[in-house]
Amino acid sequence: MHISEGVLSPAVLGGGAALAVVGCAIGLKKLDYEAIPRVAILSAAFFVASLIHVPVGPVGAHLVLNGLMGLLLGWMAFPAILIALFLQALLFQFGGLTVLGVNTVTMAAPAVICFYAYRGLLRRQGMPAAMAAFACGVTGILLSGLLVATALITTGQAFLQVAELVLLAHIPVMIIEGIITLFIFRFLKKVRPEMLEGIYA
């Protein structure tokens, strides 16, 4: 779901960079000493997961885990995702430095939205919490796909077909991410409930 260099217009790049700066500033303000290991682990998980590309027609689909990151980090997902994307651009030329802001927003903003949208249900027990965890994974990818499509279409109508392909290619990823998020949430709730402290704050 990385947008490559040379695709977006300067206006979209500038807007994405500005939003990324604001999101990272809020995330860093909420980052305390105890949360640093959690942010580092999830940033590394995001880095590794999104390196594994599965070709789906002309588009490459991959895991993003932004719903899970939103569930566990809230606003701190912004700096965590920014660092991972920066290293991917630097080491593997995924995305790029000029589109770093837009790529950060398209993946981190849905994480924050999921955190606030599902936090209330995740605090509950049983089926409501399980359904919310699954929905968190699905919604993170869905919103990221919509933001990528919006960025492409805002740049020019020529990208309309590409935007549609991005959304279609990530439908299976939505389901997979929902299942992964559900299993990790239930595992952490039993074994490491302190990892979920942001939900109850």
Rounded Cα distance between 145 and 1, Å, is: 7
pLDDT beyond 50 at 57? no
What pLDDT is stored for residue 59 in this prediction? 46
Q: Regarding the domain delimited by 10-200, which CATH topology (the fold level of the hierarchy) does it fall under? A: Arp2/3 complex 21 kDa subunit ARPC3 (1.10.1760)
> CA 136, 152, 155 angle in degrees (round to 5)?
140
Average pLDDT over residues 51-71: 72
Pick from 81-90, 111-120, 128-137, 156-165: least confident: 156-165
Domain boundaries, the chain: 10-200
Rounded Cα distance between 185 and 187, Å, is: 5
CA-to-CA dists, residue 127 to 140, 146, 178, 186, 195, angstroms:
20, 28, 14, 11, 20
First to last CA, the chain: 31
To the nearest whole number, what is the mean pLDDT of the chain? 87
pTM of the model: 0.89
For residue range 93-148, what is the model confidence (pLDDT) as tens digits? Answer: 777 889 999 999 999 999 999 999 999 898 888 899 999 999 999 999 999 988 98
What pLDDT is stored for residue 53 in this prediction? 65
Average pLDDT over residues 190-195: 86
CA 108 to the chain's CA centroid = 5
